[in-house]
């Protein structure tokens, strides 16, 4: 649990993880892929400690993008297939999601994706500075109860870690169907010196990103009557320190 960071200096200990790691169990094909394919494409904490993980991609110089909490992998698999000249890291903790993503990587022969199977925050704190051209956080767990808001992925600490790993000018895309989480994220972004929210026309944030195909979670939200989402694109500012804005 995450409270000892000041004593140990381990950045992973800045926060606890409250999500689900295991579900009903993997089916046979997913188990086989977890045994055979995952070790070939997984980024482990040891890999991160050993050096620059960009070198382990087939094309180490290609632009690198991160998707945090890819769920069933619909978005990550699609963009990786559409953009073979970019590299992607997917971070997901839930075994069922990892199993589904492995199936998609295997079926489409995606050679430009690597997976991190633990809390994405631990990846962000260990990637080289300014390694990423963009990051996606699509429908993060909403933690709707007020007493659980501090469990949300978006926090000052996570934004600090994102700001460190994103290149100046890189994007951070955040989508949610929960208005309270949209407001929460905007408030954090507007307070953070390293991010800007480029002006968009009022309500334009309800328009999906170009080429968007609904993720599994978005489809679930629609089925449950949440008919509208927020699709934000923030930009990592050049030449700013980290932390809260002074003004």
Give the contact letters, 104-133, x = binds to ligand SAM (CB under 6 A), - = no. Answer: ---------------xxx------------
Residue number, 26 or 120, with CB nearest to ligand SAM: 120
Task: Note whether 99 binds ligand SAM by CB under 6 A.
Answer: no
Q: For residue 238, what are its two tokens?
A: 């050049």
Cβ-Cβ contacts under 8 Å for 53 (sequence gap 6 or more): 43, 47, 89, 114, 127
Residue from 17, 197, 205, 230 binding ligand SAM (CB under 6 A): 17
- The stretch among 87-95, 126-134, 181-189, 235-243 that binds ligand SAM (CB under 6 A) is 87-95
Neighbour count for residue 220 (Cβ, 10 Å): 14
Catalytic status, residue 160: no
How many residues of this chain bind ligand SAM (CB under 6 A)? 24
The strand pair at 113-116 and 87-91 is best described as parallel
DSSP letter string, 96-125: HHHHHHHHHHHHHT--SEEEE-S-HHHHHT
Nearest residue to 68 via CA among 176, 203, 149, 183: 176
Beta bridge partners of 138: 175
Residue number, 112 or 215, with CB nearest to ligand SAM: 215
Rounded CA separation 144/125 (Å):
26
Rounded CA separation 8/5 (Å):
5
Residue from 41, 99, 131, 140 binding ligand SAM (CB under 6 A): 140
Q: Which of 47, 106, 118, 141 is catalytic?
A: 141
- The stretch among 51-59, 63-71, 98-106, 199-207 that binds ligand SAM (CB under 6 A) is 63-71
Task: Note whether 97 binds ligand SAM by CB under 6 A.
Answer: yes
Q: Which residues are catalytic?
A: 141
Binding site residues, ligand SAM, CB under 6 A: 17, 19, 68-72, 91-94, 97, 119-121, 138-141, 153, 215-218
């Amino acid at each position: 649990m995450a409270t000892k960071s000041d004593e140990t200096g381990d950045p992973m200990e800045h926060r606890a993880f409250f999500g689900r790691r295991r579900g009903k169990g993997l089916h046979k094909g997913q188990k086989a892929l977890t045994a055979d394919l995952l070790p070939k494409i997984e980024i482990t904490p040891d890999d991160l400690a050993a050096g620059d993980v960009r070198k382990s991609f087939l094309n180490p110089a290609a632009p690198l993008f991160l998707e945090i909490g890819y769920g069933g992998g619909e978005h990550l698999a699609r963009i990786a297939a559409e953009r073979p000249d970019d590299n992607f890291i997917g971070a997901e903790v839930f075994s069922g999601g990892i199993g589904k993503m492995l199936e998609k990587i295997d079926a489409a022969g995606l050679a430009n994706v690597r997976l991190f199977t633990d809390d994405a925050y631990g990846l962000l704190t260990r990637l080289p500075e300014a390694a990423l051209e963009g990051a996606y956080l699509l429908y993060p767990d909403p933690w709707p109860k007020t007493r659980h808001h501090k469990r949300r992925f978006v926090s000052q600490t996570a934004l600090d870690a994102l700001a460190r790993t994103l290149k100046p000018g890189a994007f951070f895309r955040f989508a949610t169907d929960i208005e309270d989480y949209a407001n929460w994220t905007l408030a954090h972004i507007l307070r953070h010196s390293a991010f800007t929210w480029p002006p968009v026309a009022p309500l334009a944030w309800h328009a999906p990103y170009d080429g968007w195909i609904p993720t599994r979670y978005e489809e679930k939200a629609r089925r449950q009557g949440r008919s509208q989402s927020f699709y934000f694109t923030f930009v990592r500012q050049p030449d700013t320190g980290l932390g809260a804005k002074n003004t």
